[in-house]
Amino acid sequence: MKRKQATIAVRGGLNSDEQYGCVVPPIHLSSTYNFIDFNQPRAHDYSRRGNPTRDVVQSALAELEGGSSAVLTSSGMSAIHLVCTALLASGDLLIAPHDCYGGSYRLFDSQARRGAYRVLFVDQGDEQALAAALAQKPKLVLIESPSNPLLRVVDIAKVCQAAHQAGALAVVDNTFLSPILQQPIALGADIVLHSCTKYLNGHSDVVAGVVICKDEALGVDLAWWANNIGVTGAAFDSYLLLRGLRTLGPRMKQQQQNAQAVIAYLQQQSQVKTLYHPSLPENLGHEIARKQQSGFGAMLSFEFDGDEQAMRQFLAALELFTLAESLGGVESLISHAATMTHAGMAAEARKAAGISDRLLRISVGIEDSEDLIADLEQAFQASAKR
């Protein structure tokens, strides 16, 4: 029987221990494994290549995304770097979203500058721009939807299909929604990757990444490369990630529900200028989000209506929204794009991407939504009183 995502997340690796019958799989920290006899290795020989704890979380993640296999990596960035290293040779072209994650932008740009591969940053919502880029015969097309920080949605099935017609593989960064809300392989993607640091772990205490392949042979190839360049995830991180993963379903549900409550409050708040969330009909790609996602997610951003001083007053007065980067944890976070997540982008580029100096991004946590709204209200009042 095909199980639902929330069930798969809870049950990953349970009862797999044969030694003691542990319900929860134990952690295996050993870096090396003895040989049964001369030239007789066991299933594992060295933990960079393979580790039983990492195996368990990889199986759970592969099943969650409907892939044939998964490779857990040391971070989301090393997952992206792994895919590019394994699949792009010098001269090969990568197409990436113009508004992709800042770390991804920096990686592609710096690698292209040193000749590792070529990159084109394209607005994938612009059909003509995408078609023109695909005409240059890319090897890889990276999709990120919804985007950061404006939560723009692109049609994953359509972009995957166009990538395939151009002879490219389609890779989706599914970090912002998790497999609970979006399953890119079912939409046509060849590879799905995540920063597990965010929703998958969900407790802001692990940095990890994962690459999940639809095709078995491609998965074997990526696992080989992950061991070769040494980016595989640690046993302790695997254990924590598996523990965090078990509550992914209810966490996402509560975070989404809280996000909707926060949005309803922000909509009638006069110090909020523009609000960005895939659930809003005016948001770019709202209709596509309704079709390809099973929920609108818990990331939102808005433009603060006021000067910098007022905005700083607002941020300082908040008690339940911590001023910090990252997202997807049980705790609510707020960040200022221009000085934090998108500080690496030139002011002009930020402006062109529609990221103003008053743009604030919220990752809604699982606190009681009434407390979250009361906190926002008192902070808006504190900034208005000045």
Ligand X SMILES: *Cc1c(COP(=O)(O)O)cnc(C)c1O
Q: Is 198 annotated as catalytic? A: yes
Contact between 103 and ligand X per CB under 6 A: yes
- Angstrom CA distances, 260 to 142, 225, 279, 358, stand at 29, 41, 8, 22
Q: Is 386 annotated as catalytic? A: no
Residues in 138-157 that interact with ligand X by CB under 6 A: 144, 148
What is the phi/psi pair of residue 289, to 5°? -60, -40
Instruction: Quote the CA–CA distance of 371 and 14 in Å, as a whole number.
Output: 35
Q: In terms of CB distance, is 200 or 310 closer to ligand X?
A: 200
Choose the catalytic residue: 54, 198, 246, 358: 198
Taking the complex as a whole, the smallest distance from the CB of residue 41 to ligand X amounts, in Å, to 32
Q: In terms of CB distance, is 12 or 329 closer to ligand X?
A: 329
Nearest to 4 by CA among 183, 148, 205, 174: 183
Contact between 75 and ligand X per CB under 6 A: yes
Q: Which stretch binds ligand X (CB under 6 A): 71-79, 151-159, 228-236, 249-257?
A: 71-79
Q: Which stretch binds ligand X (CB under 6 A): 9-17, 75-83, 161-169, 238-246?
A: 75-83
Non-local (6+) Cβ contacts of 128 within 8 A are none
Residues in 175-234 that interact with ligand X by CB under 6 A: 175-176, 195, 197-198, 207, 209
Instruction: Quote the CA–CA distance of 141 and 124 in Å, as a whole number.
Output: 10
Q: Is 385 annotated as catalytic? A: no
Separation of first and last alpha carbons in the chain: 60
| CB closest to ligand X, residue no | 76
Asked if residues 292 and 187 have their Cβ atoms less than 8 Å apart, the reply is yes
Taking the complex as a whole, the smallest distance from the CB of residue 329 to ligand X amounts, in Å, to 12
Instruction: Quote the CA–CA distance of 191 and 361 in Å, as a whole number.
Output: 28
Q: Is 173 annotated as catalytic? A: yes
Instruction: Quote the CA–CA distance of 325 and 375 in Å, as a whole number.
Output: 19
Q: In terms of CB distance, is 53 or 104 closer to ligand X?
A: 104
Q: 363 is written with which tokens?
A: 């990752």
Choose the catalytic residue: 55, 99, 101, 190: 101
Taking the complex as a whole, the smallest distance from the CB of residue 174 to ligand X amounts, in Å, to 8
Q: Which residue has the tokens 């523009």?
A: 274
Chain residues in the site for ligand X (CB under 6 A): 75-77, 101, 103-104, 144, 148, 173, 175-176, 195, 197-198, 207, 209
Catalytic residues: 48, 101, 173, 198
